[in-house]
Chain A
Amino acid sequence: MANLTLVQAINLALIQEMEKDDSVIILGQDVGVNGGVFRVTEGLFKRFGPERVVDTPLAESGIIGTSIGLAMAGLRPVPEIQFEGFLAPAYDQLCTHAARMRTRTRSMFTVPITCRVPVGGGIHAPELHSDSPEAIYAHQPGLKVVMPASPYDAKGLLISAIRDPDPVIFFEPKRLYRAFREEVPEDEYTVEIGKARIVVEGNDVTLISWGAPVVQCMNAIDSSHHSIELIDLRSICPLDTETIVESVRKTGRAVIVHEAPRNCGLGAEIASRIMEHCFLYLEAPIQRVTGFDTVMPYYKLEQEYLPEAHRISAALEEVIAYGTATGLGSAG
């Protein structure tokens, strides 16, 4: 066991998988000598050499397109896209090829790539360095999308992603990269893709989130006197409907929190599933606390954009007040 940050946990997972399996290679911009702009691949170039940790030309479509070829030939590439804002040039390769290759060829070809991407706001970064595009990729059948919110999950999920026979987009919340440490086993272990984690158990409301806002949810819970159950989805696609449904059947209330804009965000999908499976259990309308339906603003306004704890607290109070005798007004 070691007390690791999220960055260190990912680094450890990469080292262990590369030690174990020489078909695992890393490619991307600045991932080699420089160890990545967030230092996630620090030390790997020295350890595994330039054939397995490859600085590529500056072209995202090229990084993902060649990863697809590498994967079709049997390797397990782990490409890095430097920031989520620069996934867009690779969208074509991810959605028109990586996602479809297995179906198109009836599994004659598969694309076991793990595309690592720092994601989200909250670190005062320049424009296009703070977005949350997970719903866009979850919408594409054939891709898996995960986003850990803790060092432990980061290591276990990354190992699962690398071993997964299908393409996985592994989003790394940059706001959490060095936000806290956690005990992370030295031994290898996996966290199953498609399984949510109940972070805190409770009875009054189910709070559902993933990535950096999970920490904001914890803050909101800490300042509440209600009994709140917090689910960290970890996997966005596939989605763990079972865990969500079980919890909401118990609590009768749900608040979904995500950083991405609300319109067509994952919150809509989750709310639908709850509605479809928990209709008669619901005691209040499902609430979404999300980014606004705006372009992610430059950093002077990012705090106002992000679903921070105070907005989550207000929604929790409201959803609990709904239909109860007190008829409590808006809490914030």
Chain B
Amino acid sequence: MTNKVEDIEREILDLLAKQLPEGTQVSAEMRIARDLGLDSVGIMDFVMDIEDRFDISIPLDLIAELETVADLCTAARDLLKGAR
């Protein structure tokens, strides 16, 4: 598995596209709650998919701080590096 942020970002965007109605445009700059229309439960469930994809644990307090898809990608990369 790769730790490059672009690869992580691509994977996360793919997972996100699967979660959302077909044809929804997704990009790293989008804000998870406001632009993607996911409610708090939806966000937490999506994060569980990412945890399983990368075999990491994203703590609940960190999820609350994530604003954009890019934040999520950075968090995943840091956790993969064992920064937390």
Tell whether A pairs with B: no
Interface residues of A (CB under 8 A from B): none
Task: List chain B positions with a Cβ less than 8 A from chain A.
Answer: none
